[in-house]
Amino acid sequence: MNKTNNVKDIFTFGFALFAMFFGAGNLIFPPYLGILSGEKWFTAFAGFTFADAGLALLAVIAIALCHGQIMELFGRIGRIPAILLSLADIMCVGPLLVIPRTGATTYEMGIVPLVGDVPIIIVVIIFFALTFALTVKPSKVIDIVGQFLTPVLIIALSIIIIKGVVSPIGDISSNVLIDNVFQRGILDGYQTMDCFVSIAVGGVLMLTLMNKGYSEPKEQVKMLVKAGVIACIGLGLIYGGLTYLGATVSTVYGQDVQQSIVIVKITEALLGNTGKIVLALAVSLACLTTSIGLTSATADYVSMITKNKINYTYSVLFTCIFAAGAATMGVSGLVKIANPILAIVYPPTIVLIILAFFKEKIKNDNIYKGAVLFSIIISVLTLASTKYAGLEFVNSLPLAPYGFNWVVPAVIGGIIGKFIPGKNSNTVEAAN
């Protein structure tokens, strides 16, 4: 392949990955994280970027190693567990959390700042009616708008960030409002769920690469690594700037500030009413394109696992109706619901992503099962420890201060599984 074309493809695909990962929801968490962390904003940013961009990149590579097949990634833990865990991941980026958040974000960041308080139910009904219509009958207009919006959003954010760095709104507070800054960054990084997005659209990514002539698995992985580095650098710069901007208003706002409104207030302070209007419009349209893309991916997955017993159209309809109802809880309400769900679902998913890099060498499926089982057990106990004092020992496990107390138990579970005879298979029954 021509070297010049190869370099061009790396940058083209890198920007495509950036656009895929960077949704309007990613604007919400870094500025608020900056407010909470104050002078320790860089530590918080590092945790956030690792859990968001870092894990998303690992997931992209893992799904490439599994030939773009979701069930090949999850299948080694058994057919039923694979369906349950993959379904949980897809539902998180589907009607349960991320899709509703696009509607709630549109209301809080796009509608309220421009027209004031209106009933949220009216906004989300219109929003998801448009999502349904444009997902069932896809239009090239959406692709054009999506391709146009990402550069506009990046340019707008770059102007806001540069302005905020050159002329900070205020001093950075020395009062840190949270105990473990890095761990909070990790947890907020989970909230973006870009790792799950990578899994959901893995098949599309692989098809795009093959259409560009990258048919060999090694070629595909190399391309994804190089393109992923470009995407992660871009995300890191944006996240770093947004977290810093949040830190510059840490003496103005506290923990009780509405998360979704922080970047709106910052933009208004830096660029006036015009900047606020541009941001609101760009975010609203970006939310719509994100909602359409994720609704389509969810419907495809549901059709696949039910062998088309629930067809694409009905799946889209159910997703839109459920998401509209969930969106009425608002961004903060959805974040509260997401925290315990993600605390349980993320660890076993990360385990499977890491094991995908060694799938050709690991022959015993019980290694997968043991590692996943132990990670889930520790995650459930960690969640329960907030209510039951007798379970606080889980917070003393290695890597607990960084939010990874499940890692060592997962390794132990995998080792135990190695010594339990099992079916040696690289074939995924769940995909059949």
SS (H, E, C) the chain: CCHHHHHHHHHHHHHHHHHHHCCHHHHCHHHHHHHHHHHHHHHHHHHHHHHHHHHHHHHHHHHHHCCCCHHHHHHHHCHHHHHHHHHHHHHHHHHHCHHHHHHHHHHHHHHHHHHCCCCHHHHHHHHHHHHHHHHHCCCHHHHHHHHHHHHHHHHHHHHHHHHHHHCCCCCCCCCCCCCCHHHHHHHHHHHHCHHHHHHHCHHHHHHHHHHCCCCCHHHHHHHHHHHHHHHHHHHHHHHHHHHHHHHCCCCCCCCCCCHHHHHHHHHHHHHHHHHHHHHHHHHHHHHHHHHHHHHHHHHHHHHHHCCCCCCHHHHHHHHHHHHHHHHCCHHHHHHHHHHHHHHHHHHHHHHHHHHHCCCCCCCEHHHHHHHHHHHHHHHHHHHHCCCCHHHHHHHHCCCHHHCCCCHHHHHHHHHHHHCCCCCECCCCHHHC
For residues 308 and 344, which has the higher predicted lDDT (pLDDT)?
Answer: 344
pLDDT at 355 over 90: yes
Q: Please tell me which of 63-67, 133-137, 246-250, 255-259 the model is most confident about, judged by mean pLDDT.
A: 246-250
Mean pLDDT of 259-273: 90
pLDDT at 432 over 50: no
pLDDT at 307 over 90: no
Mean pLDDT of 370-398: 92
pLDDT of amino acid 239: 93
pLDDT of amino acid 33: 95
For the segment 21-31, what is each residue's pLDDT rounded down to a tens digit? 887 668 899 99
pLDDT band at residue 179 under the 50/70/90 scheme: confident
pLDDT band at residue 47 under the 50/70/90 scheme: very high
pLDDT band at residue 145 under the 50/70/90 scheme: low
Q: What is the pTM of this model?
A: 0.87
pLDDT band at residue 387 under the 50/70/90 scheme: confident
pLDDT at 292 over 80: yes
Distance in angstroms (rounded) separating the CA atoms of residues 123 and 114: 13
In this structure, the chain runs to a length of 432
pLDDT at 427 over 50: no
For the chain, what percent of residues have pLDDT higher than 70? 94
pLDDT at 139 over 80: no
pLDDT of amino acid 428: 43
pLDDT of amino acid 125: 96
Q: How distant, in Å, are the alpha carbons of 35, 98, 246, 431 from that of 257?
A: 9, 21, 12, 46
pLDDT of amino acid 302: 87
For 11, the token pair is 């940058």
End-to-end CA distance of the chain: 35
pLDDT at 370 over 60: yes
Residues near 383 by beta carbon (within 8 Å), at least 6 away in sequence? 340, 343, 344
User: Considering only 92-106, 272-286, 416-430, which range has the smallest mean pLDDT?
Assistant: 416-430
What is the rounded average pLDDT for all residues in the chain? Answer: 87
For the segment 182-237, what is each residue's pLDDT rounded down to a tens digit? 999 998 999 889 899 888 877 777 777 887 788 787 888 888 888 888 888 889 99
pLDDT at 134 over 80: yes
For the chain, what percent of residues have pLDDT higher than 90? 49
Whether 242 and 32 have beta carbons less than 8 Å apart is answered as no
pLDDT of amino acid 431: 41
pLDDT of amino acid 337: 93
Mean pLDDT of 73-87: 93
Distance in angstroms (rounded) separating the CA atoms of residues 295 and 94: 6
**Of 94, 84, 85, which is closest to residue 321 (Cα–Cα)?**
94
Domains of the chain with bracketed CATH:
3-359 (1.20.1740.10), 363-432 (no CATH)
For the segment 224-259, what is each residue's pLDDT rounded down to a tens digit? 888 888 888 889 999 999 999 999 999 999 999 988
